[in-house]
Structure 1
Amino acid sequence: MSTFETIRTHRDGDLLVVTLNRPERLNAAPPAMFDEIRAAIGALEGVRAVLIAGEGRAFCSGADLMGGALAPGVDPGEATYKALTEHYSPAMLALAELGVPVVSSVRGAAAGIGCSLALAADFVVASETAYFLQAFVNIGLVPDGGASWMLPRLIGRARAAEMMMLGERVPAEKALDWGMVHKVVADDALDAEALALAKRLAAGPTRALGGIRRNLHAALDGSYAEALQREAEVQREMRGTADSMEGGMAFLQKRKAEFRGR
């Protein structure tokens, strides 16, 4: 895999594992980290699922405020705008548009842009130590990284307002109760649980899983009639895949399907 400065990547069969790798800063994310995430997920030849994790005791403590917008002589508003529009937001869009499923493995803090990154996954596996935080209001700012779009759809407007306007931690168990995460596990079981789920998805019908991702994202803003039409169109596309043929044959032959991602 390519060599990066702020993340590590490695292949585990058909799975791409992306690890945020600034543990000494609780994986605080400078703009370059999101550039590297975008580069890593932009080269997915042969990859059928992505797992995103954080090295050490935190997933990501938010954007790195050292330098950049806080540097002497820099207009903080313009610097922040540039960081979001040229680095963080393009990476979040690239993640949303992936044609393969994504799992995030969250231990400790998932704060600010790190919260948005974690929740952008299709499945969030959290350890008992995990918490999710939108603390922007505490420093007179607003959530970014797509949080204002994502959170109301995940947990409803009232809970999103609570999270964003009060700026308080949402512990893992509360996040599970709210429907923000897929599963909460013991801290020492997190890595294995997240990896097992990601590998299960990587062994699935990749084209169909990608189609499901597309339909889910589009359905959040479209009408019921539009969803029905889109489902029909994507279903037509999937009927022509090798995985669909294999799934049908396996069903008729009463055996487990062996999907190849084609």
Structure 2
Amino acid sequence: MVLSMTSTEAEYVSIVDGVLQIIIATAANGTSMDFGGITAGKAALDALDSSVGAILLTGSGANFCAGGNVRGFAAAENRGAHVRGLADDLHEFVRALDAAAIPVVAGVHGWAAGAGMSLVCAADIALGGASTKLRPAYPGIGLSPDGGMSWTLPRIVGAGRAREILLTDAVVDAEEAVRLGLLSRLVADNDVRTEALELARTLAAGPRSTYASIKALLAQSDSATLSDQLDRERDAIAAAADSATGHEGVNAFVEKRRPNYS
């Protein structure tokens, strides 16, 4: 995949070993959400092709993302219009992430607050460190959630716990985040970005049509009956067995070799 990017966009988006890396917060922006990254990331997601097998979300500063730029909110002439515009841009990015048929990994170092926490919830797999903390942060500034948190959080932690976390503006530490399923696992603080990239590389080299099927089945399962889901699983696994990916996977197993899905 070759992206046609301006020098500004290239600061936020890169492709390494089949992984589309998107920086969503920067030190220059005080680790608040950097909409240069959100805009460049949305354009890159719209241009995805088969050369990209995984997406990695990360921040380049001390935190994954400390939330929205509250000073920017305060300085806006029309705060409602300003925040609405930012929410529109963020939500288009979240929609593009959700539409991607490939795995989305988040490397969550430091704080993930406000919209940063929303993007953690939007990832398929999120790695953190012992110092990682998550916080909705919206009640603290008198605002309500954005970035899909009111939809994703209850599906991850349950409706009752989501109400408590949002209403009390709870700080969720790393161990609790793993227990609740907000983070998949913990690695050393200094290794969060490296481990997240390595995981994304491994996924990018894997069976992409299988991952697409898994993501589709999981997305459908929330509103499906068991009987409907069993039918979908049957159809999906039968289609996979006839696919090039399925042939390679089964043949490699029988031949006792590592499958080559490239």
Give the TM-score taking structure 1 as reference length. Answer: 0.90
| Alpha-carbon displacement from aligned partner over 1:49-103 (angstroms, at most 9, x marks no partner) | 111111021011112234467412x1x334433432x311111011011011111
Distance 1:48 1:139 in 2: 38
**Is the CA contact (8 Å cut-off) linking 1:26 and 1:59 kept in structure 2?**
no
Distance 1:77 1:234 in 2: 45
**Is the CA contact (8 Å cut-off) linking 2:19 and 2:204 kept in structure 1?**
yes
SS of equivalent residue, structure 1 residue 257: coil
Correspondence for 1:25 among 25, 29, 33: 29
Correspondence for 1:80 among 66, 80, 83: 83
Segments of structure 2 that go 5 or more residues without pairing to the other structure are: none
Q: Give the corresponding residue for 2:111.
A: 109
**After superposition, where does 1:40-79 map in structure 2 within 5 Å?**
40-45=44-49, 46-67=51-72, 70-72=75-77, 74=78, 76-79=79-82
Q: Give the number of aligned pairs.
A: 257
Distance 2:188 2:130 in 1: 6
Q: Cα 1:4–1:156, aligned 2, differ >3 Å: closer, same or farther?
A: farther
**Is the CA contact (8 Å cut-off) linking 1:136 and 1:142 kept in structure 2?**
yes
The offset of 1:179, in angstroms, is 1.6
Q: Give the corresponding residue for 2:151.
A: 149
Distance 2:6 2:36 in 1: 13
Of residues 9-18 and 172-181 in structure 1, the stretch that sits farther from structure 2 once superposed is: 9-18
Distance 1:253 1:199 in 2: 25
**After superposition, where does 1:110-259 map in structure 2 within 5 Å?**
110-259=112-261
Distance 2:75 2:25 in 1: 23
SS of equivalent residue, structure 1 residue 47: coil
Q: Give the corresponding residue for 2:97.
A: 95
Distance 2:183 2:158 in 1: 14
**Is the CA contact (8 Å cut-off) linking 1:108 and 1:131 kept in structure 2?**
yes
Amino acid at match of 1:80: V
Give the TM-score taking structure 2 as reference length. Answer: 0.90
**Is the CA contact (8 Å cut-off) linking 1:15 and 1:50 kept in structure 2?**
yes
Distance 2:23 2:82 in 1: 26
Distance 2:74 2:239 in 1: 46
SS of equivalent residue, structure 2 residue 246: helix
**Is the CA contact (8 Å cut-off) linking 2:57 and 2:106 kept in structure 1?**
yes
SS of equivalent residue, structure 2 residue 14: strand
**Is the CA contact (8 Å cut-off) linking 1:176 and 1:182 kept in structure 2?**
yes
The offset of 1:15, in angstroms, is 1.6
Distance 2:36 2:19 in 1: 23
Distance 1:39 1:253 in 2: 42
**Is the CA contact (8 Å cut-off) linking 2:13 and 2:40 kept in structure 1?**
no
Distance 1:4 1:125 in 2: 29
Percent of residue pairs bearing the same amino acid type: 32
Distance 1:64 1:240 in 2: 50
Q: Give the corresponding residue for 2:41.
A: 37
Q: Give the corresponding residue for 1:10.
A: 14
Of residues 168-177 and 36-45 in structure 1, the stretch that sits farther from structure 2 once superposed is: 36-45
RMSD: 2.0
The offset of 1:258, in angstroms, is 1.3
Q: Cα 1:13–1:136, aligned 2, differ >3 Å: closer, same or farther?
A: same
